[in-house]
Amino acid sequence: MRVSGPGRPGGMAVLFAVLALALAALVPAAGAGELDRAGIARQFPPPLVVGEKDDALPVWPILKQQAGSYEVFAYAFESIDFAPIPGFGGTPPDLLIALAPDGNFRDVKVLSHREPVFLEGLGPEPLFAFVEQYAGLSARQPIRVGRPNARAAGASAQTTVDGIAMATASTRTINQSILASALAVARGKLGFGAANVGLSVEAKPDLFEPLGFDALLSRGWVRRLTVTRGEAARAFRGTGVEEGGEGAPGEAVVDLYVALLDVPSIGRNLLGAARHAALMHELGPGNHAVMVLSAGPADAAENPLGETFVLGSVPERVSVSQGGLVVNARDMAVERRGAGLGEGLPAGDWTILRIDSAAGFDPSAPWTLTDRIVRERGQILSEKIARDFSVETTLPGDLFARVAAQEGPDWTESWRARLPALAGIAGMLALLVPVLARRRGLVADARRFPAFRLAFLALTVGFVGYGAQAQLSIVTLMGLVRAVFRTHDFAFLLYDPPSLVLWAFVLASLVLWGRGTFCGWLCPFGAMQELVAWLARPLRIRQVAVPPRLDRPLRAVKYAVLAGLLAATAAGWPAADAMAEVEPFKTAITLSFLRSWPFVAYAVGLLALNLFVYKGFCRYLCPLGAGLALAGRLRVLDWIPRRAECGTPCQLCKVRCRYGAIAPDGRIDYPECFQCMECVTIIQDPGQCVPQVVARRHAKRIVPRPVPTR
Ligand code: SF4
Ligand code: SF4
């Protein structure tokens, strides 16, 4: 008699899926913006005006009337045109982004997405609120997705957006889509360099040359900005400001020395070795320090670092800029007592300004220090008039090295953030594999092994499911199908490290042992069902043994479900995502049952079913289980021990296998075996295994003999 499994109905379903996949390959890849000018205009209503679409890029200038003429308010574009990064559902989200000419986000809106967690479950509102956080942030900075309420907990509001619980992978993908597309537009339209994209430029720490102050000045490594009274007067000419004073026209009203201290040949020579080492330690990797020293004009009130300068603040008068954009630089309030500055420096007030790595500052490119002189015009209701005086610094490129930015691509942050979860999963796998592999060890202990299994399943629900959010799902397979046939981008897998690690293990275990290592031990919903099923005995509920004539066709249903889902996905049917709800994982695990009642009722109903039909969902409906069962047919080992007497005449294991995975002839049906190891415990137990019991009665010793299985 044949063991039931993916017989003809399942095989037909798979054939149907393959045909549908082949047809779907003819469907063009997804990923182009859909808004025309009228659509953009609806998003940016009057008084804003939509200009002509850019000739080279799919970007629309949004114009605003200002003093009789139009100026660019923002550049509007769809993220999918520049960074079609597939989301968790395998389809790229499409966001409408408005980027101001200074590189700040004016607005970000969601046009479309297929992120499962926002389609159903959490609903779209948290996603809308998530993208609203970008307004006002700068595309120059590597914006990260923090934990929920990360900003309130002290994370930088300039470089962090609050994440959403239960949607970590989706929000990181959306963040990456926003940043990558904004940077592409910023480079194309705003002249952004590539310095802040993936690489950071840092001074070579071991390159040092002893140089005196004059040598640094003559090389241009320390720059000087002087403004004489006469130059200032000329700058304010025609403004009504009376520039003059008591000094001579050639007398300096501003006398600043400017130097980038993170270059050792500059910083160490100016500060001395000990102070420079302390400064670098305080500065931290990737950040930059600019020293501004005022040699003290005759008039103390003119000194930008004099009486009005506040330690630890962003200076009012001096600023650092690069590429026409001001870089945030703040006084480090370093200790000014103790070791003095290096030899030869002029006396005067000084500050060391810290430039954070997030500013995208490239010290190997020209940068500018500006001093703003402000004068007042009029005595009553006086008006402030400002004039800027600047000095540019260009340092040799060989003083610097381009190193991978600390944060790396956005997905590396996911891996860093999920390290504890990864360590926990690795620990569980390290525990499980030897237990299963050593079939004469714990598995053979009829008393301790069930307790171990119960505890492990509880850990799978609590840690793998709710803690690490690593419930593998058919949605990932659907995402893979979309990637193969439509988007050709598999990067979405990298944003969910615990699941990816688990997938890697499952693939390896499929090839060696079959589907059961995951389904019997590591699937949180599967474990939850099993725990519910355990309650049947204390609740005195008698579970139903599904008769074979019903069991066989029912088992084929899961293969048909799998085929339908993959075919719908490959064909790009919008209903595919809704069809994936046949899997209750999102409701039960991802959203912890916090969902509308029909979904909760479905998930709870499937769990309750286990009180009557053991693991009914797994055996008859689960598309992921079906996929794993099919892939498990590649299994290379027949590793579950059998005896010659299994099946003929002994039927004990077959009767005790609650998954119906042992054929009447004693062979294991691996696609249906959940590796609960009950039959292994029996076969190793001389008190349970019938041939051994009989042999003992006859004082014989029987050695297990492997029997070929299908
Ligand atoms: S059949 Fe489905 S629900 Fe059951 S254990 Fe396997 S993957 Fe999980
Ligand atoms: S009893 Fe044996 S055959 Fe049945 S599921 Fe458990 S390990 Fe597999």
Centroid of ligand 2 to alpha carbon of 39 (angstroms): 59
| Res. 504 pLDDT band, cuts 50 70 90 | very high
Q: Is the CB of 516 under 6 A from ligand 1?
A: no
| Res. 2 pLDDT band, cuts 50 70 90 | very low
Q: Residue with structure tokens 């891996």?
A: 415
How many alpha carbons lie under 13 Å from residue 335 in its C-beta half-sphere? 10
pLDDT at 37 over 70: yes
Query: How many residues does the structure list for the chain?
Result: 710
Counting ligand 1 atoms within 8 A of each CB, the residue from 618, 673, 676 with the most, and so the one to mutate, is 618
Q: Is the peptide bond before 84 cis (omega within 30 degrees of 0)?
A: no
Ligand 1 atom nearest to 527, measured from its CA? 5
Centroid of ligand 2 to alpha carbon of 704 (angstroms): 17
Centroid of ligand 2 to alpha carbon of 668 (angstroms): 7
Pick the more confident residue, 430 or 56. 430
238 Cβ neighbours under 8 A, 6+ residues apart: none
Ligand 1 atom nearest to 622, measured from its CA? 2
| Res. 12 pLDDT band, cuts 50 70 90 | very low
pLDDT at 65 over 90: no
Q: Is the CB of 527 under 6 A from ligand 1?
A: no
Ligand 1 atom nearest to 615, measured from its CA? 4
What pLDDT shows up at residue 85?
76
Q: Which ligand is nearest to the Cα of residue 625, counting in written order?
A: 1
Q: Is the CB of 662 under 6 A from ligand 2?
A: yes
Q: Is the CB of 474 under 6 A from ligand 1?
A: no
Q: Is the CB of 369 under 6 A from ligand 1?
A: no
Centroid of ligand 2 to alpha carbon of 629 (angstroms): 14
What pLDDT shows up at residue 701?
57
Q: Is the CB of 526 under 6 A from ligand 1?
A: yes
Q: Is the CB of 661 under 6 A from ligand 2?
A: yes
Q: Is the CB of 477 under 6 A from ligand 1?
A: no
Centroid of ligand 2 to alpha carbon of 517 (angstroms): 11
Residue 381 has which token pair? 């209701």
pLDDT at 224 over 70: yes
Q: Is the CB of 14 under 6 A from ligand 2?
A: no
Pick the more confident residue, 43 or 412. 43
pLDDT at 128 over 50: yes
Pick the more confident residue, 120 or 483. 483
Going by alpha carbons, the residue nearest to atom 6 of ligand 1 is 519
Q: Is the CB of 176 under 6 A from ligand 2?
A: no
| Res. 170 pLDDT band, cuts 50 70 90 | confident
What pLDDT shows up at residue 19?
43
Q: Taking a C-beta distance cutoff of 8 angstroms, is the pair 339, 291 a contact?
A: no
Counting ligand 2 atoms within 8 A of each CB, the residue from 530, 679, 681, 685 with the most, and so the one to mutate, is 679
Centroid of ligand 1 to alpha carbon of 68 (angstroms): 67
Report pLDDT digits (tens) over 270-311: 988 888 888 888 888 778 999 998 887 756 667 777 667 777
DSSP annotation string for 20-35: HHHHHTTSPPP-----
Highest mean pLDDT among 191-195, 245-249, 450-454: 450-454
Going by alpha carbons, the residue nearest to atom 2 of ligand 1 is 625
Highest mean pLDDT among 116-130, 223-237, 337-351, 445-459: 445-459
Q: Is the peptide bond before 498 cis (omega within 30 degrees of 0)?
A: no
Ligand 1 atom nearest to 524, measured from its CA? 8
| Res. 15 pLDDT band, cuts 50 70 90 | very low
What pLDDT shows up at residue 13?
45
Q: Which ligand is nearest to the Cα of residue 472, counting in written order?
A: 1
Q: What angle do CA 281, 413, 330 make, to 5 degrees?
A: 40
When the pLDDT of each residue in the chain is averaged and rounded to a whole number, the result is 83
pLDDT at 313 over 80: no
Going by alpha carbons, the residue nearest to atom 7 of ligand 1 is 625
pLDDT at 146 over 50: yes
Centroid of ligand 1 to alpha carbon of 591 (angstroms): 18
Going by alpha carbons, the residue nearest to atom 2 of ligand 2 is 679
Alpha carbons 681 and 214: distance in angstroms, whole number: 85
Alpha carbons 415 and 622: distance in angstroms, whole number: 29
Q: What is the dihedral of CA 441, 447, 449, 455, to 10 degrees?
A: -150
Q: Is the CB of 683 under 6 A from ligand 2?
A: no
What pLDDT shows up at residue 527?
97
Centroid of ligand 1 to alpha carbon of 443 (angstroms): 22
Query: DSSP 3-state assignment of 378?
Result: coil
Query: DSSP 3-state assignment of 5?
Result: coil
Q: Is the CB of 521 under 6 A from ligand 2?
A: no
pLDDT at 642 over 60: yes
DSSP 463: I
Q: Is the CB of 659 under 6 A from ligand 2?
A: yes
Nearest CA among 154, 178, 177, 174 for reference residue 164: 174
Which range is least confidently modeled, 18-27, 360-369, 482-491, 559-568? Answer: 18-27
Centroid of ligand 1 to alpha carbon of 607 (angstroms): 12
Q: Is the CB of 464 under 6 A from ligand 1?
A: no
Going by alpha carbons, the residue nearest to atom 3 of ligand 1 is 526
- Of all residues in the chain, the percent with pLDDT exceeding 70 is 85
pLDDT at 7 over 50: no
Centroid of ligand 1 to alpha carbon of 526 (angstroms): 5
Counting ligand 2 atoms within 8 A of each CB, the residue from 614, 640, 651 with the most, and so the one to mutate, is 640
What pLDDT shows up at residue 124?
86
Strand-pairing partners, residue 107, are 98
DSSP 92: -
Q: Where are the domains of the chain?
A: 31-198, 201-404, 419-697
What pLDDT shows up at residue 426?
96
Q: What is the mean pLDDT of residues 14-39?
A: 55
Highest mean pLDDT among 335-349, 655-669, 694-708: 655-669
What pLDDT shows up at residue 301?
66
Q: What is the mean pLDDT of residues 569-589?
A: 87
Going by alpha carbons, the residue nearest to atom 4 of ligand 2 is 657
Q: Is the CB of 657 under 6 A from ligand 2?
A: yes
Alpha carbons 515 and 164: distance in angstroms, whole number: 33
| Res. 193 pLDDT band, cuts 50 70 90 | low
Centroid of ligand 1 to alpha carbon of 569 (angstroms): 20
pLDDT at 640 over 60: yes
Q: Is the CB of 523 under 6 A from ligand 1?
A: yes
What pLDDT shows up at residue 17?
46
What pLDDT shows up at residue 21?
44
Q: Is the CB of 528 under 6 A from ligand 1?
A: no
Alpha carbons 555 and 659: distance in angstroms, whole number: 11
φ, ψ of residue 75 in degrees (nearest 5): -105, 125
What pLDDT shows up at residue 30?
44
Centroid of ligand 2 to alpha carbon of 647 (angstroms): 14
pLDDT at 213 over 80: yes
Name the pairing type of β-strands 49-50 and 59-66: antiparallel
Q: Which ligand is nearest to the Cα of residue 436, counting in written order?
A: 2
Report pLDDT digits (tens) over 388-444: 899 999 999 899 887 655 444 567 767 877 888 999 999 999 999 999 998 788 998
Alpha carbons 44 and 146: distance in angstroms, whole number: 30
Alpha carbons 80 and 178: distance in angstroms, whole number: 9
Q: Taking a C-beta distance cutoff of 8 angstroms, is the pair 390, 370 a contact?
A: yes
| Res. 705 pLDDT band, cuts 50 70 90 | low
Q: Which ligand is nearest to the Cα of residue 639, counting in written order?
A: 2
What pLDDT shows up at residue 709?
45
